[in-house]
Each structure stands twice: as C-alpha cells, then as structure tokens.
Amino acid sequence: MEKYDWPRPPGLEPFAHQKVTSEFLTTRRKAFCFNEQGTGKTASVIWAVDYLMKLGVLRRVLIACPLSVMRSAWQDDFFKFAMHRSVDIAYGTADKRKKIINGMAEVVIINFDGIGIVKKEIVAAGFNLVVIDEASAYKNVQTERWKDLRDVMKSVKGLWMLTGTPAAQSPVDAYGLAKLINPINTPKFFGQFRDMVMDKTSMYRWIPKIGADRIIHTLLQPAIRFEKHQCLDLPPLTYVDREAPLSPQQKSYYNMLKKQMMIQADNEDVTAVNAAVQINKLLQIAGGAVYTDNKEVLEFDVSGRLNVVKEVIEESLHKTLVFVPFTHTIQILKQFLDKHNISNEIIDGATTVRKRSDIVMEFQKHTNPRVLIIQPMAAAHGLTLTAADTIIWYAPVTSVETYLQANARIDRPGQTNSMTVVHIKGSPVEARVYKLLRTNMEQHEKIIDLYKQEMQAT
C-alpha cells in the first residue's frame, strides 16, 4: 500500500501507541501487530481500516477471531470507534454464513474455523484485507485452519496478523505465521526451519538454539510491538469482556430454572436472600456445574468457556489469577489446565494457612505455578499476588466487596505492569452481574433488581 499521511481520527482520540500502530498498518498490505494484551490492538486496526476505506484503498474487510471476542470486542468496538461502518457477524449455519459473506457489510467478522465452511464464498466476495486476531492459532501449517487461510490469501492481497505472543511456547510456533506474511524469506519446509532454531538433544527433546530469537525476529517482519509498560497513557487497570456462549444443554436447564423462578415470583414476595440463591443457581449453570436440591452435582459441557480461559492465559506475558466462585467448577478447571500442561495451584476454603503461604511464595518468586485458581470468598483479602498482571473472572460473584478485594490482589504496591481484568460471560445474568459489580451498587438493591430484570428478560 502507498504511504499516506495519517489524520487525527474523528470521535475518540487514540492513545499515542495506537496512533503509531494505525499509521504502521496503513502503509503495509501484510504485517504483524505484536502489541501486548490490553494495549488496544482492536481500536488501532479499526482506525486504520476506516481511514483506508475513506481513501478507497479498502472496500471490504474480513476479521477472523476467537468466538469469545466476535461481539464483545470487534463488533462493539466498531460501533464505538467507527459506527458509520456496516458490520456483520458470519456465525451459525452454513447458509447463514454464506448469506452474510455475500451481503453488503463492509466488515465481516468470523470465527477461525468458519473460514473453511465458507471458503469459496470468501474468495468470491471481494475482500481486500483479512485481519487475524490472536494469530497464534495459525502457528501449525498442518492444520486445516492454516490451509484454509493460505487458500483464501491467494485471492486477497492484504493480511494483518495480531497477537501479543507470537512464539510463546517454542521458536517453532513462529513458522506458520512467517509462512503467511513473509513466505519468500521463510524456509519452504518445516524441518528446515526447525533445524535453524532448535537443537535436538534426544529422540524426543528439542531445545532452542542460541540466537534463535534473532532468526525469529528477522522472519516475523514487518512487525510492530508495544508492551503495556511502554504505554504510559494507558489506565493502570483495563477491563475486558469475553463471551463463552452456553451449550444447548446449559440453555435448556437455564431456561427451566428461570420458569421455576417466575412461578415463585408470581406467588410470593421474593426476599434478597431467596433472590441471591436463585441467581447463584443460574450462575452455577453458566459456569458448568449446578448443585441440585439433593446436594448432587450436575455437570455440563463447558469446553467453550474453558477454551476462553486458555486463550487469555496464553495471551498474557505474565502470570494469571482465575477467580472461580464454585467449588466443583474449580476442579473442572484444574483438570482442564493440567491436561494442557499449564502449571497451576488452587487456593480455596480447604487450603490450609501453611499451604496457602507456600503457594503464594512459589507464585511470587518462581516460574511455576503460572496460574492460581482462587475461590474469591476464600482469598479475596490479604494476599499480595503482584507476579500476575491478569485476572480472569471465570464467573462473577454477587458481592461488590468480594469483587473489588479480589481485583486488588494484583493492584498493590510492587506491581510494575499495567493490569487487565477479563470477565467471561455466556448468559444474560452474568452480563448483568458484571455491570452491577462495575457500578458498585448497594447489595440489597443489586440482588432484588437483578432478580427482577432476569424475570422480565425474554
């Protein structure tokens, strides 16, 4: 793309690093943006896209991203920063996706694996640019996901790939990204690339070569990167929403419980205590495990929510706290993290004082554990956990005090990084609870109003 002078975008004023990032992207058909999580990559891309559309350089843009950020990040941010642009989400049945791809929307948002479903339609739809959010999803050239994008890019000239962690696990993770953006300088075969950056020490063990980072830096070009500590105009604490839609089974039980709540509300006055119990039942269903009246546990498929947790952990350069309100759900999450070799420890009501002290010391002073799974009611006060700069709320609590105290575990003296708090939501009640927590409403009013809003919602 020809280089253009960058005017001040209308509406919201960008931070300095966002303006530089936008300028960088507007001058390159293919580029990487490696800005760290929480630095506003989405807004930077939107301003760049809007500017190039005004110039007539771009007509249609396809954005591929995780399911969890299609609406809560990309669609909402387009409405915030470029509301005059037409935006649609290609998700659902194949026919629905095709209709949207073939429609008139200037910007189409799609999940990664959706590209393969409508690949032919994308090729024919006249997109000028593809934006890949969380581009580490394309590190493996053997996957159908990578091959689908490669095929699409044969007919699309522009590709911007965004990720804060381009080779977080191993230097070989950079291969798939480099092949898409910088294919001329990237070895044709994976084996060649691996031999450039890794040494084989045994039959199944490879370690990075000395100087591998310089090779990766050369191949992953052109690129721009800002880390949170470099962005002095960023707020110290940033809040982000991620969506994890309920499974069909969860929706069925969620709606069944709501009907029971409506019957109860019609026949008697609902106290704050009873309202809190019912709201917690809905939150339990959304989180993946609900306790029945017989004290039994009914588990649901929450693979989507668990994958969102994994996404956020992998995007974070530093350590992560995951707050999980319900005991059984903690075990579900731990089993998932163990399966994916993400080192973790639990602090809950059953953790002894001695064990808690040992876990905190290891977390603060050593590489592992990388993640602490914390039951907020058991550890919202007193702990200093500044080795983490990211908090994930797996599900919300209904206490403002607990919420604020839990977030304060990383926002304490000794914290040297800007911080991010991620809210995971998949149900209407979770979205309402997070909103109320952020506005610090009085406990009694909060619960009763929340209960009424949930009953009135369709």
Residue-wise pLDDT tens digits, 121-144:
999 999 999 999 999 999 999 999
| CA separation for the pair 172, 174 (Å, rounded) | 5
Which of 191-205, 220-234, 268-282, 427-441 is least confident? 268-282
Phi, psi of 100 (to 5 degrees): -75, -40
| Of residues 8 and 455, more confidently modeled | 455
Residue the block writes with tokens 């070569």: 209
Answer whether 429's CB lies under 8 Å from 397's CB: no
Strand bridging mode 129-133 / 206-208: unpaired
CA angle 125, 131, 135 (to 5 degrees): 130
Examine the pLDDT at 380 and tell me if it is beyond 70. no
Note the pLDDT of residue 12.
Answer: 56
- The stretch 366-376 carries a mean pLDDT of 95
Q: For residue range 328-364, what is the model confidence (pLDDT) as tens digits?
A: 999 999 999 999 999 999 999 899 989 999 999 999 9
Q: Residue 235: its pLDDT value, please? A: 66
Q: What is the pLDDT of residue 174?
A: 94
The reported pLDDT for the residue numbered 5 is 43
Q: pLDDT-based confidence at 272, cuts 50/70/90?
A: very low
How far is 176 from 189, CA to CA, in rounded Å? 11
Task: Give the model confidence (pLDDT) of 229-253 as tens digits.
Answer: 776 566 678 889 999 999 999 999 8
pLDDT at 263 over 60: no
Is 252 within 8 Å of 302 (Cβ atoms)? Answer: no
Q: Helix, strand or coil for residue 13?
A: coil
Residue-wise pLDDT tens digits, 282-301: 899 999 988 776 677 888 99
Give the model's pLDDT for residue 202.
86
Q: Which CATH superfamily is domain 16-230 in?
A: Tandem AAA-ATPase domain (3.40.50.10810)
Token digits for 235?
């707020």
pLDDT mean across residues, the chain = 87
Residues 395-419 pLDDT 10s: 999 888 889 889 989 988 888 888 8
Question: 141-150, 260-269, 423-432 — which one is most confidently predicted on average?
Answer: 141-150
Q: Which of 318, 320, 332 is nearest to 284 (CA)?
A: 332
Helices (H), ranges, 198-271: 212-219, 248-267
- Residue 9: predicted pLDDT: 46
Q: Does residue 162 carry a pLDDT above 90?
A: yes
Q: Identify the three-state secondary structure at position 247.
A: coil
Residue 193 CA to residue 226 CA, distance in Å, equals 27
Tell me: pLDDT of 159 over 80. Answer: yes
User: Is residue 6 scored above 50 in pLDDT?
Assistant: no
Amino acid letter, 51? Y
Q: At what angle do helices 443-456 and 428-439 cross, to 10 degrees?
A: 150
Q: What is the pLDDT of residue 440?
A: 65
Residue 288, amino acid: G
Distance of CA 399 to the CA centre of its chain: 24
Stated pTM of the model: 0.78
Which pLDDT band holds residue 270 (cuts at 50, 70, 90)?
very low
Give the range among 61-70, 255-264, 337-346, 353-362 with minimum mean pLDDT.
255-264
pLDDT given at position 7: 45
pLDDT attached to residue 451: 59
The ranges assigned to domains in the chain are 16-230, 237-245+299-456
The H-assigned helical ranges of 133-245 are 144-152, 174-181, 190-197, 212-219
Rounded Cα distance, 197 and 213, in Å: 8
Distance CA 164, CA 422 (A): 16
448: its two tokens:
């009763």
Fold of 237-245+299-456: Rossmann fold (3.40.50)
Q: Give the pLDDT mean for 196-201.
A: 91
Higher pLDDT, 446 or 391: 391
CA distance 135 to 112: 10
In this prediction, residue 2 carries a pLDDT of 41
Q: Do domains 16-230 and 237-245+299-456 have the same CATH topology?
A: yes
Q: Inform me whether the pLDDT recorded for 55 exceeds 80.
A: yes
pLDDT band at residue 40 under the 50/70/90 scheme:
confident
Does pLDDT of 157 surpass 70?
Answer: yes
106: Cβ contacts below 8 Å, ≥ 6 apart: 53, 59, 60, 61, 85, 86, 87
Cα distances (angstroms) measured from residue 47 to each of 70, 81, 134: 17, 7, 19
The answer to whether the CB of 399 falls within 8 A of the CB of 407 is no
DSSP character string of 88-139: EEE-SSHHHHHHHHTSS-SEEEEETTHHHHTHHHHHHTT--EEEEESGGGG-
356-359-361-364 Cα dihedral, nearest 10 degrees? -120
Q: How confident is the model at residue 19 (pLDDT cuts 50, 70, 90)?
A: confident
Task: Identify the pLDDT of residue 256.
Answer: 85
pLDDT for residue 265 is more than 80: no
